[in-house]
Structure 1
Amino acid sequence: MTEPLYLTPEEVSERFRGAISAGTLANWRAMRVGPAFVKIGKSIVYPVADLNQWANQQTVRCHATNRLNGKEHEQS
């Protein structure tokens, strides 16, 4: 089975395991923030390619701390 090209707000919520509700998506659309969407008449859909790009932009990069590097007691 191939991945769909577009997802409904409810499907987007499922994709992100409920962390983003359909209501939150509606609020974001009104404020023009969040992932890109397409409006066709009254229907709202989210292009999967744009969702992937938006999700990648939300990635938080963490730096290793000295404790994790085994340098807990080293002084500079």
Structure 2
Amino acid sequence: MSTPAYLTLEEVVARYRGQISEGALRNWRTMRVGPSYIKIGKAVLYPVSELDRWDKSNLVVCRPSRSLSREECAPAR
């Protein structure tokens, strides 16, 4: 089965495991923030490629931690 090119509002909520609500997505559309979407008639669809782009734009990049020696990792006595 191929990956759909567009997701519905409910599918977007499922993609983000319910951490983004339908209401939040509606508010973001009104304010023109959040992931890009396409509106065809009354249907609101989110292109998967735009969701992937939005994910990357919100990625928090952490610096690698420095390597610790065994002495530094050993519990204090």
TM-score tier after normalising by the smaller chain length: 0.7 to 0.9
Identity %, equivalent residues: 50
- Distance (Å, rounded) in 2 between the aligned partners of 1:41 and 1:50: 20
Superposition misfits of 4+ residues, deviation over 6 angstroms: none
How many residue pairs were aligned? Answer: 70
Question: Which structure dedicates a bigger proportion of its chain to helix?
Answer: 2
For 1:34 and 1:17, the matched residues in 2 are separated by: 16
Q: Distance in 2 between matches of 1:50 and 1:14?
A: 16
When normalised by structure 2's length, the TM-score is: 0.83
* Structure 1 residues not aligned, in runs of 5+: none
Which is higher, the Rg of structure 1 or of structure 2? 2
Q: CA deviation at 1:30?
A: 0.3
Partner of 1:11: 11
Unaligned runs of 5+ in 2: 73-77
Provide the rounded CA distance (Å) in 2 between the counterparts of 1:4 and 1:29. Answer: 21
